[in-house]
Structure 1
Amino acid sequence: MGTPQGFAYDEHADGSVRITHHGRKATTLRGPRAAEFLAEVADGDPQAVMARWTGNYRRGNERTARNHPRNRR
């Protein structure tokens, strides 16, 4: 899988940030979390950052992570 696609975000006057995925609301961040998100999105790949903040980043690598020695029980 490549870079996630379809994410967008809007900053609002009250300081909140709304993240959407293909036009549908994924999450709303407020206060310090919104500020932290905005700082992170300015530094990195916006699509990957939004995917991670919404929890929509686990696509295709679950099997690899499950087999990693650190995750074995």
Structure 2
Amino acid sequence: MKETDAPFSYQINKYNTVFIKYYGKQVKISNVKDAKKILKKMSGAENEKASQLIIAKITGNFKRGNEQN
């Protein structure tokens, strides 16, 4: 998967807050409790495509009906 094919990215600050971005624009900020869940899910991702799907599901606004898990 190319860098341009990955619309989602995330960043973690020193306070363990996760910032989720969609094409560079911040779309979600998680608290510490949710950040732990997010990082646990991300560590289990098999590849970049799986990581992108996990982040899309976390945001909740990007479901298109084809994520049957």
Bucket of the pairwise TM-score, normalised by the shorter protein: 0.7 to 0.9
1:53 and 2:58 aligned: yes
Q: Indicate the residue corresponding to 1:69 in structure 2.
A: none
Following TM superposition, by how much is the alpha carbon of 1:58 offset from its aligned partner in structure 2, in angstroms? 1.9
Provide Cα deviations, 1:10-37, integer angstroms capped at 9, x if missing partner: 0100110000000111100111100110
TM-score, normalising length from structure 2?
A: 0.74
Q: Which runs of 4+ in 1 moved over 2 A?
A: none
TM-score, normalising length from structure 1?
A: 0.70
Distance 2:63 2:7 in 1: 15
Aligned positions of 1:1-73 closer than 5 A: 5-44=6-45, 45-59=50-64, 61=65
Name the aligned partner's letter for residue 9 of structure 1: Y
Distance 2:63 2:56 in 1: 9
Structure 1 unmatched runs, 5+: 63-73
- Equivalent residues, number: 58
Point out the structure with max Rg over C-alpha: 1
User: Superposition RMSD on alpha carbons, in Å?
Assistant: 1.8
